[in-house]
A and B are shown apart, each in its own frame.
Chain A
Amino acid sequence: MIRTLMALFLVPVMLVGDINSAHAELPDGGIGEIKTLDAGTFVIRGDARESAALGGIVFQGDEFETDSQGAVGITFIDGSTLSLGSDSYMEIDAFIFVPQDEKLGFAVHFLKGTAMYLSGRIAKLSPEDVKISTPLATIGIRGTRLLIQVAE
């Protein structure tokens, strides 16, 4: 037992890791990956606006815009997925997934167009920390898949 306790002190750093997440070595700060893409999709990150790329890493604060041809699907490291149809705009205002510290949050704002959202572990562990909004409404989640249209 003493040996076991000593071993625990020796390896604490190695034992730290997120539990039950989809998290395959994304670059630092990466919260998800672009898994599907139709040309005509743009990522707005800070002052830069660039065409989105398949396999592109998604970061907190990113905004996504699609034109009349565009569409995009993202899988996040908590296992949630989100997709946009054409002529759509979305802001990922917050994404925090550190379950071992109980730090969780997901805030996304849909300004126009169509979207599908499938909830992941953040919604399972702490549904009140998932905040989905449009200019008119907020949507509270209890583990689910849903569609949103914001017509202009």
Chain B
Amino acid sequence: MEPISLFLLWLAAAVFIPEPGNLVVLLDEADGSVGRIVVSTAAGSQVLETANTGVNVLNQESPPTPPKAISQEQIRATFGKALDAAPVPPERFLLYFLTGTSTLTEESRAEIGKIAASFANRKQARATIIGHSDTVGDADVNFRLALLRAEEIRKIIIAAGLNAERIDARSHGEKDLIVKTVDNVDEPENRRVEITIW
């Protein structure tokens, strides 16, 4: 048989007949970024680093097949049900506060609508809220201030419609700075609440 015939036969099999063994397909993520995976058997490895490419693994004794493009049609036909069952990925927001207070900045107040949309968009939504402070003042005062901030966001989220039992609010005080500073530094970026909707 000519090599070209073999190639066509292989292509036909790949497209029209489900192959035995495994198929591993790399996808892009919601933000368009593409990771990198290495598929290995006892006999060797193949690297996938382009979205919508895949490898077949026929048995443990041979390496995975070289990467090939996998069409949207084949992805839907094979993986449609798994893709439809995929949860909405967690989404994280940062909210900022006026110095020494649990009062949101004007810009951050405008973010609340997006947060509400994020939990309205998913089944079984949960929220994890972590309050932070900058390093102005004592650590124990800052721990309580950051907790007040987390609790303030908790109230806002409950008012926006999320069940209180599905919200966890906690404080990391001044121990988890985004902008690393020495003690007693006024840093707006550190006066924040991180809220993850998942």
Interface positions of A (Cβ within 8 A of B): 1, 3-4, 7-8, 10-11, 14-15, 17, 19-25, 33-38, 54-55, 71-75, 79, 81, 83-86, 88, 114-116, 118-120, 134, 136-152
The residues in B between 53 and 91 inclusive whose CB is less than 8 angstroms from any CB of A are: 54, 57-60, 64, 75, 78-90
Given contacts A22-B196, A83-B87, contact A71 B81 (CB under 8 A): yes
Determine whether the beta carbon of A33 is less than 8 Å from that of B126: yes
Contacts of A1 in B (CB 8 A): 183
Contacts of B87 in A (CB 8 A): 35-36, 73-75, 81, 83
In angstroms, Cα B128 to Cα A79, docked, is 11
Set A24, A114, A134, A137: member contacting B128, Cβ < 8 A: A24
Set A4, A114, A137, A148: member contacting B40, Cβ < 8 A: A137
The answer to whether the Cβ of B140 comes within 8 Å of any Cβ in the partner chain is yes
Determine whether the beta carbon of B90 is less than 8 Å from that of A116: no
Interface positions of B (Cβ within 8 A of A): 18-29, 33-41, 48, 54, 57-60, 64, 75, 78-90, 122-124, 126-128, 130, 138-141, 143, 166-168, 170-173, 175-176, 183, 194, 196, 198
Q: Which residue of B lies closest to A37 (CB)?
A: B85
21 pairs, A vs B, C-beta closer than 8 Å: A4-B183, A14-B143, A17-B130, A19-B130, A24-B126, A34-B124, A35-B87, A35-B124, A73-B87, A74-B87, A81-B89, A137-B41, A140-B37, A142-B35, A144-B34, A144-B36, A147-B23, A147-B27, A148-B22, A151-B21, A152-B20
Q: Which residue of A lies closest to B18 (CB)?
A: A151
Q: Which residue of B lies closest to A86 (CB)?
A: B81
A92 vs chain B, min Cβ distance (A): 15
Q: Which residue of B lies closest to A138 (CB)?
A: B40
Determine whether the beta carbon of B86 is less than 8 Å from that of A118: yes
Given contacts A4-B183, A118-B89, A137-B39, contact A144 B29 (CB under 8 A): yes
**SS of B interface (majority):** mixed
Q: Which residue of A lies closest to B27 (CB)?
A: A145
Determine whether the beta carbon of A136 is less than 8 Å from that of B37: no
Determine whether the beta carbon of B171 is less than 8 Å from that of A14: yes
In angstroms, Cα B194 to Cα A59, docked, is 26
A44 vs chain B, min Cβ distance (A): 18
Contacts of B64 in A (CB 8 A): 137
Q: Which residue of A lies closest to B45 (CB)?
A: A140
* New A-B pairs, 19, CB < 8 Å, besides A38-B81, A146-B27: A11-B140, A22-B126, A23-B128, A71-B82, A72-B85, A75-B89, A84-B82, A119-B35, A139-B40, A140-B39, A142-B37, A144-B27, A144-B34, A146-B26, A147-B25, A148-B22, A148-B23, A149-B23, A151-B19
